């Protein structure tokens, strides 16, 4: 996650090609967490844009 810290999302892969909406950021973070911590059950990731506004990416899980 440190590659995002202090950087403009538009300059960091994959957001240099994918629009960094809250929905896309949540999806990418969920996928990166699942790949980094394979034994963890990632159910969903919520990303806040502004007070009262957020997007949640729910993973497919068994």
Judge whether 57 and 23 are in contact, CB under 8 Å.
Answer: yes
Residue 54's Cβ-side half-sphere holds a number of Cα atoms within 13 Å equal to 11
**pLDDT tens digits for 3-60?**
889 999 999 999 999 999 999 999 999 999 999 998 888 999 999 988 999 999 998 8
The answer to whether residue 62 scores a pLDDT higher than 60 is no
Which of 23, 25, 6 lies closest to 15, judged by CA?
Answer: 25
Q: Which two tokens stand for residue 60?
A: 């497919």
């Amino acid at each position: 996650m440190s590659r995002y810290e202090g950087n403009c999302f538009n300059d960091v892969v994959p957001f240099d090609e994918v629009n960094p909406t809250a929905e896309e950021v949540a999806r990418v973070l969920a996928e990166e967490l699942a790949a980094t911590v394979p034994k963890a059950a990632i159910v969903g990731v919520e990303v806040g844009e502004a007070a009262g506004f957020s997007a949640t990416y729910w993973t497919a899980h068994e």
